[in-house]
Each structure stands twice: as C-alpha cells, then as structure tokens.
Structure 1
Amino acid sequence: MSDELTAKLDRIPDPKTGKGLQAAGRLDGVAVRNGVATIVLKVEPDEAIDRLKADIESAAREVDEVDRVQIITTLQRPAGGGRDKAAPRQASAAAPRPARQIIAVAAGKGGVGKSTVAANLAAALAKAGQRVAVLDADIHGPSIPRLFGLRDIKGLRKTDTGIEPADAHGVRVVSMGFLTKPGQPVVWRGPMIQGAIQQFLNETYWGDPDVLIIDMPPGTGDAQLAIAQTVSIDGAVIACTPQDLALDDARKAIAMFEKTHTPILGLIENMSVFLCPHCGEPSEIFGHGGTRAEAEAIGVPFLGEIPLTIELRERSDTGRPVAFDDGPVADAFARAAMAMLDSAREARKPAPEIVFSS
C-alpha cells in the first residue's frame, strides 16, 4: 500500500522544481497502517503549502485502504548545510517559544517510572499555582493520557490559533496517544517521529504556560534529537531507580543531553523505598541511595526521593496524579518540583564576570 501511495504522490508536481514529489525529494516518509495514511513532507521556511497538502490528501484518498490522511511537515535543510546532527538547532527568531520554561524529564531506560515522575512534577507545579503544560513526546509508548485520565480523547482539534491541547486538572496536555486507538502501535521511521514532535512543539496553542514539561521517550534516539533541534530546553531532569543497572543507563541519558548542550537540572530517585500500606515501614526493594551518590559523583543536584506506595499506583491507574493530593508521596513530589525550579533558575544565571585590576 505504501508503494502505491508513493507512486500516486509522485504524480503531484513539486511547486518549485516541477518534478514529482518523490523525485524532488520532498517525501520524508510514507506509510499506510490501519486505514491511516501518514505522509511526511519536507517544506521550506515560510512556504505556502495549503494547495499542495490538499493535492496530497486527494491523491492519498484514491488508495482503497485509506480512510484518514495525516500530513506531517518537517523543515527542509538548506543545501550544503553540513551541520553536525548532534548539535542543537537554534529556534527561529520568528517561532514563538512554547513556554517561559521548558524542562525535559528523561530516563536512560524504560521501566523506571519516568512518565509518572513527569506527570506528578507537572501536577505539583500546578498545585503550587504555576500554569503548566505537558508534551508527551514518547511517540511509541505514550503514558500521559492514562496518568491524567484522558484516555477517551479522540484526536486533537486544530483552530486558527493552532492545535488545541486537552485539559486535565488545569494542566494542558498534548500526546500522540490522542491520535491512536487503544493498543494500536505507532510503527514510524525517524523522520515521522521528528516531524510529529516538531509539529506538537511549534503548532500547539500552549497558552503561554509558566512551565512546559516534556515527557521524553526512554533512551537516546530520533525523538530526543528532534526536540534538541526544535526548541531550546532550559534543562533536563533524569529519573532513575537506585539499581546499578538503571544508573548505568541514566549516565547515557546524561551524556546525550550534554552533547546537545542541555543543562542537567538534577536526578530524581523514583521507587526509592516501598512504604507498607499497613504499618508504613519502608522496604528498600531496589536498593537505596544510589541515585543520590551518582548525582554527587557527577556534580549535579539531587532533587529528591520518591517512595513507591499503593496510593501512587492507584492514582496513576485512575488518572489523577497523586501530587494533587496530600501525603508523603505528594510532599516528595512537591519538594522535587521546587528543587527542579531552583536548579533551573541557577542554570540560567550568567557566568560571573572576572574583572582584573590594572
């Protein structure tokens, strides 16, 4: 089906060269899955593409298996650009900044509770009176809709002001999970992932939040690179468990942010201890203190320890982050969120000026 769709798209002339879109190198990805045609189209800055997008949608609907068409645009690099792919791209001066502060929550591996940490940091900030938004950039495994009780959202509405986020407990949320059916995998190549994240960042009407939390996918790959190349991040928080295995992968995430010149705001130790629901006795299931020791060893702030409780699991499943409530876990997230903001303020301070006397 993808080959058939590509052939139809290649009959559409590129407005600049007159060649077919495929021959002109304008197609960065074409896929048809579960009735949805996804086309990644390279565009140039300020290029008018409304007519071109209409022609693409019309051609895609000629394929029998296509019920819906989504077109993702990516910025076409200038010829001979030769940039280092690892270096962050400076955001265009004309592009509005999505939020006053942009903070990424990341992890070197899956299974450490990164999305739970991201959601609850956002909830803690909202509870403290901050205007908060969350971008779920985990394209392959979006968890934010469940964590915020937004699993019934079907699609994202786009108006003249941009993509409209969903609202959960006063937090504005955008997620790939709103665009897929439950249990449906997102099988995309790198350019499609990059294009989707860039559109979410640049075309969403965020409403000028104080803080935008980006829930990063685990590991280091196309999504992380797309974010680093699209927007200037104020800093990254690394979520980790006390295990040595998790710490090994956390170091990889830290190295990735260092390569993209993103400050590390600190480390959070998730599942630090398990608090018994009956007696309150802590049990160090995954060990304890490893993340604090790692933060001290590499010279970055340690933002706090988050205990594992039945309440945290229940609130995550029901879609109301525990940080909105009261109790030891909520207090732990509140302290971590404030420490994160303090670290972000320190990261933005200019370097001291050295004055030599004559």
Structure 2
Amino acid sequence: MRYLLAGPDDYSLKQKLSEIKLSLGDTALLADATTLFEGARVKAAEFKLTVDALPFLTPCRLVIVTGLLSRFQPAGGQVNKASRLEEADTFSAAVRAAPPTTAIILIEPELNRRNPLFAGLADILEVHEFPVLDRSGLKAWIGSRVSLCGGAIAPGAINLLAQYVGADLWALSGEIEKLRLFAGSRPITEADVKTLVGYTGEASIFNLVDAVIECRLKPAVESLEALKAGGLPAGYALSMMSRQLRLIILYLDLKSRGEKEIEIRRRLGLTADFVWRKTAAQAARFSFSRAAVAYRRLLETDLAIKTGRMEESAAVDLLVAELASGAGLETRELS
C-alpha cells in the first residue's frame, strides 16, 4: 500500500485519493488513524516514527505526505547531488521498512522520474499520474461524466462546454450537474449550455493563460478571439492577463519562501475556490523566470498602447502570439 499521486489535475487526483481511502475500510475509523505531513517540513525521524506505529482499533494507519519528492527536486529540474541524497535515502528506507498495516500516499504537483527519492521507491510505488486533459480527453471526460450522473449530452453541447469552461474539472463537474438537473430526462443541448453556462471572462482568461503557459499558439489565439467576440475589449483582456500573471508570480515567490498554501491564498486574496485552484495549478506549470519575462512583456505592451505607439487590438494580438509561441521567453534576460 504505497502510492504516488502526481499531476496538475487535482480533481482527478482527489477522486483517486478518495477511492484509495474507501478501499482501506471504514472512513470514519480511518480518519482517526490518518496523519498528514508537509513534505518540505517533516523531519525524517518524525516520519519514520509515524509510519512504523501500528494502528489502534483500525485495520490500518494512513500517512499522506504532500511535496516530499519536491523537497529533493530543486527549481529548474536539477537534482540535488550532495547532502540531500543521504536524506532521500533515509526517507526511502523508512517507507520500505514501514509495516504492511501502514498505507503511505505521496502527493506531488508533478513527477520527475530522475528524482532521487522516486528512484529509491519506484519499484514499490503504485503510480498514478493526472496530467491536464487535452481537447479530445476533455470531451471524452465530459461525456463519461454526464453518463455517470445518469444523463445524456449532444456532441455539440460537449464541444461548447469544453470551449466555455476549459480543463477545470472542478468547474466542469459543477456545470454538468447543473445542466443535468435543468435538462431532466432529455439530453443536454447546445442551447442549454448557452443558457446556463455561457462565456465568462474569468474562465476564458484562464484558458488563455493555460495556452500561453503550455506554448499552444492556436488555442491561445482562439481564446483571445473568444474574449473579444464576447464583447471584451483587447485592453481588458490585457489587464486580466496581467492580473493573473501577477498572481502566479506572487504565488511562486511566496512558495519559494516556504509559505503554507493557506497563507498564500490569504495573502493573494483569492476567496473563490475556482480561482484559487486555477492559479495554484498554473503556477505549478510556470517557471518564475518565464512568468516574470511574460509579465514584463505585458507591461511593455500596455505602455506602447498608452503612448500611442501601437493600436490596442493589434498590440494584444501580437503579444499573445509571442508569448504562446515561446519566442525567446526562456532565454531573454530581465534588465
């Protein structure tokens, strides 16, 4: 019972976590035998003491650790070669020596298979990865989710829902439940999606930033056009992008300083669950340097528009094309 759950799709990850918990027996009893650790802070001795303890009045003990592999994987993807290797071996030995009555779940934002701790545990871990769904995978997920909820949905409605909401499965699951109740016994139609969901500037801007992060030029351009088609001026799209990139930069900075997630959320002022989850997921896929360069380009574009050097719509179109193509953003120096 050694699991690794990794990836930015935290909806599917949380579903798998719940599934594992159910497989371990009575969830009420298990709650009293569950220990949560932050991987960046837990001491090896404390971890070993906990995983070695036998359960009391329950068939098993559950230990969940978030970010333990990340602790041995510094920013930039370079594996620590010095003192941390010995510490990684200590944690690896503790996991291997834990009694079979202890279930251990490691949770990571992403998996680097060259990570020294993963290398020491790969042969005993049951690994589940949860990448962000691509367009075809997203459509398939929507269809299966509607069926699971006891409904049916027209292909055109699937396309529209994927276009409107994007790959945020938390938001999609909520919209699907709302649509299913609205449609009743008939299939969900495009008209239903347009009536109950529709475009929202916030969802569209997340799609745009997602495409920029992943250097997907065509979806980025399509998202920008969708924003403008929905009546939002190019300048507003620019300000929304600036705000989101600023949140990502602040998130990454606070995270690098060792701040806890709850404190980061408070300091960023993100009270809406949807916005918080999206920001955290995007920050996990954006390097600090690339986010900073992108933010500088946004400021330069804003200045060019305000000083009359460039027309607003053309300037924003050019900026999105540059960012989403990744043209020089990884190597361009900040001055």
Q: Is the TM value for this pair above 0.5?
A: no
Query: Which structure is richer in relative contact order (CA contacts within 8 A, separation 6 or more)?
Result: 1
Q: Which has the higher strand share?
A: 1
Normalising by structure 1, report the TM-score: 0.27
Normalising by structure 2, report the TM-score: 0.29
